Amino acid sequence: MTKLKLALLAGAFALFPAVGSLAAPPESIVIDDCMAKKSAVEFPHAAHFKDHECSTCHHTQEGLTKDSDEQVKPCSECHNEPEKKSTPSCSQSSLKKNQFHINCVDCHKAEKAGPTKCNDCHPKQ
Ligand code: HEC
Ligand code: HEC
Ligand code: HEC
Ligand code: HEC
């Protein structure tokens, strides 16, 4: 998300602070914020949150649930142009330096389920 869009969002929340009920977490997401060298990644979100705590991935929002009255911050808000060089970034191809690779691939390896090969997540175009 661009800084401008974030600023507009922040503005909208300043005008309407009582958020009320937020939209349910999306069933499925196409992750393409950093798409450059590799194709966009299909992420079956619901298949993940049925068995895993939200904060496993939304790690800055401890206690987040399906019914939370809380705005969910996309990873891109902090990881696309991270303040610190040491913070993983979605534009990195390394399995150790991209927040998605660390989050997604490390869990798939640990749980022996889910894709771990480059082309399984980034289908050849
Ligand atoms: C479990 C799924 C998964 C696997 C396996 C995976 N990636 Fe990714 N990768 C992602 C996601 C999600 C992103 C973020 C995509 C975006 O924002 O466009 C990403 C981003 C990238 C990016 C930066 C964005 C871009 O398009 O330039 C590169 C490069 C990349 N991956 C290369 C690789 C390589 C090389 C491998 C194999 C060693 C690999 N990935 C394996 C999920 C995966
Ligand atoms: C396995 C990891 C994982 C789990 C578990 C998970 N999410 Fe997500 N969620 C993601 C990713 C990745 C995105 C896409 C973020 C992005 O595009 O930067 C996302 C996006 C979202 C979004 C949309 C945010 C936006 O505005 O783009 C919402 C809302 C959300 N999740 C809520 C939840 C809730 C509530 C739970 C628990 C019931 C949950 N998620 C569990 C990984 C996860
Ligand atoms: C509010 C800001 C923020 C949001 C939103 C955020 N992160 Fe992070 N994340 C950070 C920062 C800062 C670090 C590095 C700080 C640290 O080392 O603890 C980090 C570190 C990580 C790491 C590395 C942890 C490790 O042990 O090496 C992973 C993986 C990660 N984030 C994944 C995600 C994913 C996936 C999402 C979205 C579902 C997400 N983050 C959303 C700020 C954020
Ligand atoms: C905490 C562990 C965990 C994390 C984090 C995680 N996954 Fe998974 N993933 C799994 C498990 C377990 C399965 C197998 C689920 C099943 O078969 O029902 C899976 C399956 C998948 C599948 C295959 C679904 C299918 O229908 O065969 C895809 C694609 C996938 N994950 C993508 C991702 C991406 C992209 C990310 C990161 C944004 C991610 N996963 C993060 C545990 C995780």
In order of start, what are the domains of the chain with their CATH numbers?
28-60+73-125 (3.90.10.10)
Task: Give pTM, 2 decimals.
Answer: 0.92
Predicted confidence band at 21 (pLDDT cuts at 50, 70, 90)? low
**What percentage of the chain carries pLDDT values higher than 90?**
78
Ligand 1 cavity residues, CB under 6 Å? 31-38, 40-41, 90-91, 93, 95, 98, 100-101, 104-105, 108, 115-118, 120-122
Closest by CA to 95, choosing from 125, 117, 124, 77, is 117
- What are the structure tokens assigned to 80, written together? 């696309």
Expressed in angstroms and rounded, the spacing between residue 46 Cα and the centre of ligand 4 is: 10
